[in-house]
Amino acid sequence: MSTKGGSPRGTSDVTERGLETLIMRHMTGVDGLSIAASVVADAPAPEAHGYFAGSPKDYDRGLCLDLNQLFQFLHATQPDAVKALQIVDPTDPKDINRLRFLTRLSTEIGRRGAIDVLRNGIEHHPAGHFDLFYGTPSEGNAKAVELHARNRFSVTRQLGYSSDATRRALDLCLCINGLPIATFELKNSLTKQTVEDAVEQYRRDRDPREPLFGFGRCVVHFAVDDSEVRMCTELKGKGSWFLPFNKGFNDGAGNPPNPNGLKTAYLWKEVLTPAGLTDILEHYAQIVESKDARTGRKKRAQVFPRYHQLGVVRKALADVGANGAGKRYLIQHSAGSGKSNSIAWLAHQLIAVRRSGKEVFDSVIVVTDRRVLDDQICPSSGFLGHLSG
């Protein structure tokens, strides 16, 4: 594997470390190996693609927060609320007001999930409401544009996550405003390590009892090599279920050849750009609660879109935005590939499509031929409708 652009001398590095460097250099502009703690940066490096390089020293393993990125974001966007916290020293772990606020935030993430906290923020006395993320600004809203630009997307290399086994570390961890969103285990087939080994590492070595791996605290976990990507939304040890997150190739599995680099480069170059990840958090990622009709027990599941689902919804929305209503489309999903969510995500977003300043659709009607599809679609669309309100 060539790490062109990822090594200072342009040499080849066929190790797992080389893949880490390649991804870090693309996203942050640096290799991320020697980031000092509490580095204050107003903007990512000029050669970065929208991401700051985080320091593992800024990560609190018990609270599961990158404290430097979090406080940089809060000071830049909500200085009055931060002042009202009356924190004497934001770097002092014994400062009682600091501890109360961080404990409150971490508890809310554990209870509600990172997705909901990012979307809706938290309340904390005496400061009141805190926003933890600013979504896509509406057209013509200069203040919203400014706040959105203050979001801090960061990637930290070799993140130590465990308080007990202090040497355990994740290859990469992606955060938004200090809140962990995605973890990565990387492998390289040239060293006889594949995506299967990355999946096995999650199942065998990543204890789901660790705070970072609690349900909803992290949105998605990626197993990646130079050819394939798999994802999991809830780690359960040996029962962790990883789904393909591949483009597909020749009407089959896997990824097509990439003349400009690795087959899996689309993950960090297309899917996880700040704009792409913002879109996913606003319109796709969710925690869905369902009720067993027989036992009455409630169950929560975290959902993250697969690559083909993102593709079909985004392509349909783009075509409607360009050509308006009245066209017909054929969308083919195989069994078990998530067509119910694709329908719900598309229906929800079609309502918001505007063309020449006007909404394209007054209403969207979904017609299905099976009651099981009704049951699968309604919870998703209802949840999304709640979010839009």
Full DSSP string of 19-76: HHHHHHHHHHSS--SSPPTT---SS--TTSSS-EEE-GGGEETTTTEEHHHHHHHHHH
What is the structure's pLDDT at 47?
95
- Does residue 387 have a pLDDT over 70? no
Q: How confident is the model at residue 289 (pLDDT cuts 50, 70, 90)?
A: confident
271, 302, 337: which is the final residue of a domain? 271
On whether both 320 and 238 belong to a single domain, the answer is no
On whether both 339 and 204 belong to a single domain, the answer is no
On whether both 215 and 312 belong to a single domain, the answer is no
Please answer whether residues 110 and 214 qualify as being in contact, where contact means their C-beta atoms are separated by less than 8 angstroms: yes
What is the structure's pLDDT at 340?
87
Crossing angle of the two packed helices 339-350 and 307-323, in degrees rounded to 10: 30
Range of the domain at 145: 16-271
CB-based contacts of 136, cutoff 8 Å, min separation 6: 148, 278, 279, 282
Average pLDDT over residues 362-384: 67
Residue at 381 is within a domain:
yes
- Does residue 384 have a pLDDT over 60? no
Question: How many separate helices (H) and strands (E) can be counted in the chain?
Answer: 12, 15
Q: Nearest Cα to 272, choosing from 135, 136, 158, 174?
A: 174
How much is the pTM? Answer: 0.90
Identify the H or E element spanning 318.
Answer: helix 307-323
What would you report as the CA-atom Rg of the chain, rounded to the nearest whole angstrom? 21
What is the structure's pLDDT at 75?
96
Query: Looking at per-residue confidence, does 221 or 344 come out higher?
Result: 221
CB-based contacts of 92, cutoff 8 Å, min separation 6: 98
The string of pLDDT tens digits covering residues 67-79 is: 999 999 999 999 9
- 344: DSSP letter: H
**CA distances (Å), origin 94, targets 56, 89, 211, 389:** 20, 9, 21, 40
216, 237, 271: which is the final residue of a domain? 271
Question: Mean pLDDT highest for which of 5-9, 157-161, 248-252?
Answer: 157-161
On whether both 175 and 219 belong to a single domain, the answer is yes
Residue at 282 is within a domain:
no
- Does residue 375 have a pLDDT over 70? no
- Does residue 160 have a pLDDT over 60? yes
Residue at 1 is within a domain:
no
**Which token pair is 80?**
């009055």
Average pLDDT over residues 361-366: 89
On whether both 203 and 308 belong to a single domain, the answer is no
On whether both 363 and 243 belong to a single domain, the answer is no
On whether both 105 and 220 belong to a single domain, the answer is yes
Q: What is the mean pLDDT of the chain?
A: 89
**CA distances (Å), origin 161, targets 106, 253, 306:** 15, 33, 26
What is the structure's pLDDT at 291?
81
Residue at 8 is within a domain:
no
On whether both 205 and 338 belong to a single domain, the answer is no
The string of pLDDT tens digits covering residues 301-337 is: 999 999 999 999 999 999 999 999 989 998 887 777 7
239, 271, 303: which is the final residue of a domain? 271
**Which token pair is 226?**
């130079």
| Number of structural domains the chain divides into | 2
On whether both 119 and 173 belong to a single domain, the answer is yes
On whether both 330 and 185 belong to a single domain, the answer is no
Q: In whole angstroms, what is the distance from residue 197 CA to residue 216 CA? A: 24
Residue at 280 is within a domain:
no
On whether both 220 and 122 belong to a single domain, the answer is yes
**CA distances (Å), origin 241, targets 114, 169, 235:** 20, 21, 8
Q: In whole angstroms, what is the distance from residue 90 CA to residue 71 CA? A: 8
Q: How confident is the model at residue 88 (pLDDT cuts 50, 70, 90)?
A: confident
Residue at 156 is within a domain:
yes
Please answer whether residues 185 and 223 qualify as being in contact, where contact means their C-beta atoms are separated by less than 8 angstroms: yes
- Does residue 31 have a pLDDT over 70? yes
Q: How many CA atoms lie within 13 A of 345 on its CB side?
A: 27
Helix, coil or strand: residue 175: strand
On whether both 205 and 304 belong to a single domain, the answer is no
What is the structure's pLDDT at 381?
45
What is the structure's pLDDT at 1?
41
